[in-house]
Amino acid sequence: MNHIRSYRPKPIVRKEYIEQAAKLINEAEKPFVIFGQGVILGKAEKEFQKFIEKAGIPAAWTIMGMSAIPTNHPLGVGMLGMHGNYGPNLLTNECDVLIAIGMRFDDRVTGRLG
């Protein structure tokens, strides 16, 4: 197991929140996933790939999340952010549900917000 200094998560899993999130995803017309290095650090690549394949949701990666799925995966649409591709950045604006997994919204992803 990887150890991250000073990080001791104690998540509280609330079934009703999971059900609400699943409902939003299932009812979305244009859902979109962005993912980062947290998928890799959590060793959740297989589970993540199963999720996007089962849901059929296109996914873009941050620079640090690049190897979580094969770069030629049919649902992979490219890298997000200032160093990324035009398409994934456009999809973040066009989607009706944005699902962020294992990533943070830093300025390399969002650009200048203020």
Helices H / strands E in the chain, number of each: 5, 4
CB atoms near residue 29 (< 10 Å): 7
CB atoms near residue 98 (< 10 Å): 14
Residue 1: pLDDT above 60?
no
pLDDT tens-digit readout, 60-97: 999 999 999 998 999 999 999 888 888 888 998 899 99
Question: What average pLDDT does the chain have?
Answer: 89
User: Both tokens of residue 33?
Assistant: 């996933």
Whether domain 30-110 has CATH 3.30.200.20: no
pLDDT, mean of residues 84-112:
84
Give the Å distances, CA to CA, from 54 to 47, 80, 98. Answer: 10, 22, 17
Q: Are β-strands 97-101 and 31-35 bridged in parallel, bridged antiparallel, or unpaired?
A: parallel
Q: What pLDDT is recorded for position 43?
A: 94
Closest to 102 in 3D by CA, of 71, 70, 67: 67
Closest to 90 in 3D by CA, of 48, 51, 58: 58
